[in-house]
Structures are given as structure tokens and as C-alpha cells.
């Protein structure tokens, strides 16, 4: 699998990452199989959050991989905090407590990349900066990032932070493209022209931040997969056509569509099926042509000006 660099860090990882939200639903044996398969494919960044499985996902992962110093050197761990029961919390106290909990559950001394999970509009950036400084100086977190934030939210944070933000997780799939749509419809009086995220795509590229695409196969707010879904006939027909042309699966083509973007966007895939992950990983060796990329974009219902 091809490698990418996360932001301005020294973290070099496979260009596809495994999201571990559902790993708590597996037995230890099945979870170990999923992780071993991922590593064999070159998937070495594992994305967690303190709320996944109410913390059980991190525990199951650590047990399944038999976490020790040798294993830890072979993987990159990313986790997130900030979503609580009915509210968001970027307070210094919660960030520090959340990190301690994740370290304990993951059975590790440090986290490679730690993200703030969805914006907290009551955030006091000075508090976040204090927490990040404490975590960095103690060696408990190497790098920091955010999830679902717009440029001004990131700028507000960066005013107080000592270190760069290296990652922004944003929802992106061929059927969920607001960050791309506005770039086509500049100065136009139509709905796609509305800039819904403050030009997050361009901001991240200008600031050397890696965009991680969550829900790359889902439609809506995690309402289910669009691949093989009868409600999306045109895009599925085009996915199948290109899959046959490139001798891969439709899921691989949907992944390749994201990887084709020059921003080096990293899909976070959440499958717990070993064969499906193998199919997805083949996307690393496919580069869709410009016409193919645009054909898929239009097949998803998007119109070019």
C-alpha cells in the first residue's frame, strides 16, 4: 500500500486507515483476525475514539493485538475525545482525563495522533492549549488534530497552540461532496455554491493538514451504505462499470475516487470484514483518470456548471 505523511508530522502511514468504532462487537479472535489482515495489507493507522463502544473498542483492540512494545512500534494509534452524553466538552480537565482513559484501555504509553471530536462551541482555546502542552511535554501524545472543524475554528485554536494541527476528519464520499461542490460553483446562485465548511478543503491543503474522510461508503449521517443500495442506481451502475474495467470491486472504486484527489485525502474505513478490507486496499494501486473521476461525480447526482 502507498504511504502518506500525516500533515507536517513525521508519521508515515498507509494511505487507507482502519476505523475501529465497531471492533467492540467482535470476539477477541475475530478482532485479532481483522487487525492482522489490516497489517498485512499495509493498513497501519488505527482510528479510535473514547466513545466508540463506550470505551470497549479501545480495550478489545488492545487485547486482540496483544499490545506490547514490539507490536506498538509497528502501528500508529489515533483516538479522539470531546463527545459526551448530550454535550461536547473540550475542557482541559476532560481532555486530560480522556487521554488517561484511552492510554489505559489501549495499553500504551503514548498516542500518535489525538483529535478533538466535533466542535465544542463553548471551547476556551487557552484551556485546550494548556492540555495539549501538558500531554506533549509528558510524552503521552505526539501530535494533535481535529474533526469536523472549519478554518476559523482551527485558526482560533492555532492562535494558542504551540504545535501544528496535522489532521482534520471530515465526512466525504462520492455521494457526500459539499466540500468539493462549492469549488465548482463559485459565484453562482445555486445550492451547491453555498460554502458550508468555510473552504475547509482549501484551508487544509494550504496548511499541509491531512484530511481524513470518514463514512466513505455511507450516505447521510451514517444512514447506511450507498454501495449496492437501490436508492442510488446511477452511481452504483457507474461504480460497477469501472470496477469491471479495473478488475476490482465497486467498493475499491469508491475508495479510489477519494484517493484520486490531489489533497492526499486518507479514507477511514470502518469495515470489520477481512475480505472487504482486502477489496478496499486494492484501491491503493488504482488511479482513476480525470474523465472517470468526473463521471462518478456526475453519476452521484452532481451537476457541473
Torsion-angle region of 228 (φ positive above 0: left; ψ -120 to 50: alpha; else: beta): left
114 is catalytic: no
Q: What's the rounded Cα separation, in Å, for the pair 302 and 299?
A: 7
- How far is it, in rounded angstroms, from Cα 56 to Cα 24? 6
Sign of CA dihedral 44, 57, 210, 140: negative
Centre a 10 Å sphere on the Cβ of residue 28 and count the other Cβ atoms it contains: 11
Among 52, 114, 143, 203, the active-site one is 52
Burial class (CB in 10 A: 0-12, 13-18, 19+), 18: buried
Contacts of 182-185 spanning 24+ positions with Cβ under 8 A = 184/304, 184/305, 185/305
- Catalytic residue numbers read 52
Amino acid at each position: 500500500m502507498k504511504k502518506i505523511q500525516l500533515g507536517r508530522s513525521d508519521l508515515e502511514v498507509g494511505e487507507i486507515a482502519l476505523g475501529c468504532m465497531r471492533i467492540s462487537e467482535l470476539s477477541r479472535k475475530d478482532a485479532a483476525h481483522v487487525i492482522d489482515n489490516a497489517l498485512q495489507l499495509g493498513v497501519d493507522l488505527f482510528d479510535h475514539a473514547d466513545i466508540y463502544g463506550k470505551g470497549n473498542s479501545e480495550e478489545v483492540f488492545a487485547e486482540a493485538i496483544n499490545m506490547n512494545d514490539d507490536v506498538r512500534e509497528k502501528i500508529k494509534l489515533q483516538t479522539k475525545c470531546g463527545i459526551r452524553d448530550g454535550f461536547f466538552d473540550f475542557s482541559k480537565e476532560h481532555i486530560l482525563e480522556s487521554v488517561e482513559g484511552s492510554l489505559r484501555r489501549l495499553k500504551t504509553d503514548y498516542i500518535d495522533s489525538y483529535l478533538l471530536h466535533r466542535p465544542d462551541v463553548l471551547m476556551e482555546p487557552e484551556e485546550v492549549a494548556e492540555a495539549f502542552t501538558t500531554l506533549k511535554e509528558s510524552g503521552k501524545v505526539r501530535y494533535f488534530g481535529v474533526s469536523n472543524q472549519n478554518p476559523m475554528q482551527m485558526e482560533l485554536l492555532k492562535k494558542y497552540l504551540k504545535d501544528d494541527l496535522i489532521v482534520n476528519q471530515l465526512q466525504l464520499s462520492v455521494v457526500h461532496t459539499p466540500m468539493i461542490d462549492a469549488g465548482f460553483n463559485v459565484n453562482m446562485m445555486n445550492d451547491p455554491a453555498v460554502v458550508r465548511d468555510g473552504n475547509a478543503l482549501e484551508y487544509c491543503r494550504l496548511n499541509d493538514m491531512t484530511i481524513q474522510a470518514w463514512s466513505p461508503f455511507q450516505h447521510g449521517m451514517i444512514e447506511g451504505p450507498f454501495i449496492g443500495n437501490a436508492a442510488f442506481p446511477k452511481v452504483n451502475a457507474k461504480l460497477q462499470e469501472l470496477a469491471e474495467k479495473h478488475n476490482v470491486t465497486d467498493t475499491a472504486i469508491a475508495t479510489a475516487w477519494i484517493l484520486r484527489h490531489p489533497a492526499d485525502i486518507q479514507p477511514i474505513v470502518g469495515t470489520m470484514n477481512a475480505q472487504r478490507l482486502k477489496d478496499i486496499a486494492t484501491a491503493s494501486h488504482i488511479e482513476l483518470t480525470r474523465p472517470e473521476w468526473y463521471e462518478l461525480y456526475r453519476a452521484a447526482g452532481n451537476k457541473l456548471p
